[in-house]
Chains A and B, each alone.
Chain A
């Protein structure tokens, strides 16, 4: 008899790992001599957890500074753990990009066939907006290695990471908001705003497209964003009136990093999708969500999870750029 809360068939439990102490991101000198995230202040991982923003005192004047800050949140906030099993970490250190709020590409996102007229400009969220901070946070190695190639169902770690990861993604969004407010700036999180909506898979604010504008990466055939930390992850953004130096995009075309889109090579994501949602023409979202509703939700009904990641895992672009794109990027 199958236990009601037994993991779906094929789920491989990762080995129980000892929680690591994390380095101190809070020292202004960048010292990593302390054994926890908060230097002299008690922190998670053996000591009392606390919210990182009030104590964070390293400079955040550019994308690198913001990246350090979000890496500290990822490393120290106890919510970056799956609630079940071995409580493996959900995410690893993120990538951060910054766009000028008046970048002409934001206008292009409103064109039909890009996102469409439903997409709005940064000024819609925050009148007087000057910068848009976008980040990509990759799933942890533990979650990605749980994804066994060739199995039709995603592992529990993935479906849990998808939903619980999005809750932690909201923590990251709010941490950025609180940090910017601490610096005296105004900020708005479009995807946590009451005005946000989506219709027919077209959002009023697309995290992926904003990431493209902010220099994080280009799109792949599977419709995900290809970044230097791969495509298996989640994204977030905050609009602010703080003037921050925009990141120079190391690409020009929207599919520049995808070998299939540029040279008809690879196509691994087409082969990986068990229901043929990814085709030479791109990804059919309707096929994708129908698969989720018909097969994945029932398999994980006891857990209440859903979501698929075949087109983000076990691919040449899962945790890095495809080789050719990486070489081209380095040569720039």
Chain B
């Protein structure tokens, strides 16, 4: 069980970033942008879009095309759906995986996502900047 007091990935910002991406690449036909990544910062676990480059400190990112959405055409806007509706649908499909991936990406030890055991058993704790999944809110 993950404690309710830990920080986790902010779903609204993920949906907003994906929706914005869909808006961009479905304008003037379907032109997926393979440079775009979903970047998440450790401080509040919010996500936004940027182009891939060397990582900044305290962020992790995921390529939208291929890594988050592995199938070609996943990000094409279907007839009759708005970009926000399709984003919500796409995020719903990957949410469980992405939530766990992001939790581990911000975990500094090999104790898994359960901070309780870690605190009880290990002197090597920080509760700090990087140990985001487990950092106190």
B-contacting residues of A (Cβ < 8 Å)?
Answer: 44, 48-54, 78-79, 81, 83-84, 87, 163-164, 166-167, 170, 174-175, 178, 181-182, 191-194, 196-201, 203-204, 286, 289-290, 292-293, 297, 304-306
B30-64 residues with Cβ-Cβ distance < 8 A to A are 34-35, 51-58, 60-61, 63
If A51-B63, A54-B66, A203-B110 touch, whether A78 touches B54 (CB-CB below 8 Å) is yes
Contact partner of B124 (CB less than 8 A), chosen from A178, A199, A289, is: A289
Q: List 26 A-B contacts (CB under 8 A).
A: A48-B51, A49-B53, A50-B35, A50-B66, A51-B67, A54-B70, A78-B52, A78-B55, A79-B54, A81-B54, A81-B55, A83-B55, A84-B57, A163-B108, A164-B55, A167-B55, A170-B101, A170-B104, A170-B105, A192-B101, A197-B111, A290-B124, A292-B124, A293-B124, A293-B125, A304-B130
Contact partner of B123 (CB less than 8 A), chosen from A44, A166, A170, A293, is: A293
Q: Which residue of A lies closest to B122 (CB)?
A: A289
Quick check: is B113 within 8 A (CB to CB) of the other chain? yes
Residues of A contacting B20 in the complex (Cβ-Cβ under 8 angstroms):
none
The complex places the Cα of A289 from the Cα of B113 at a distance, in Å, of: 19
The complex places the Cα of A193 from the Cα of B52 at a distance, in Å, of: 26
Q: Which residue of B lies closest to A47 (CB)?
A: B35
A304 lies within 8 A of B123 (CB): no
Quick check: is B112 within 8 A (CB to CB) of the other chain? yes
A-contacting residues of B (Cβ < 8 Å)?
Answer: 34-35, 51-58, 60-61, 63, 65-67, 70, 72, 100-101, 104-105, 108, 110-114, 117, 121-126, 128-130
The complex places the Cα of A53 from the Cα of B70 at a distance, in Å, of: 9
B54 lies within 8 A of A50 (CB): no
Residues of A contacting B57 in the complex (Cβ-Cβ under 8 angstroms):
83-84, 304
If A50-B63, A192-B101 touch, whether A198 touches B53 (CB-CB below 8 Å) is no
The distance from the CB of A157 to the nearest CB of chain B, in whole angstroms, is 14
Contact partner of B128 (CB less than 8 A), chosen from A170, A197, A286, A304, is: A304
Contact partner of B67 (CB less than 8 A), chosen from A53, A196, A198, is: A53
How would you classify the secondary structure of chain A's contact residues: helix, strand, loop or mixed? Answer: mixed
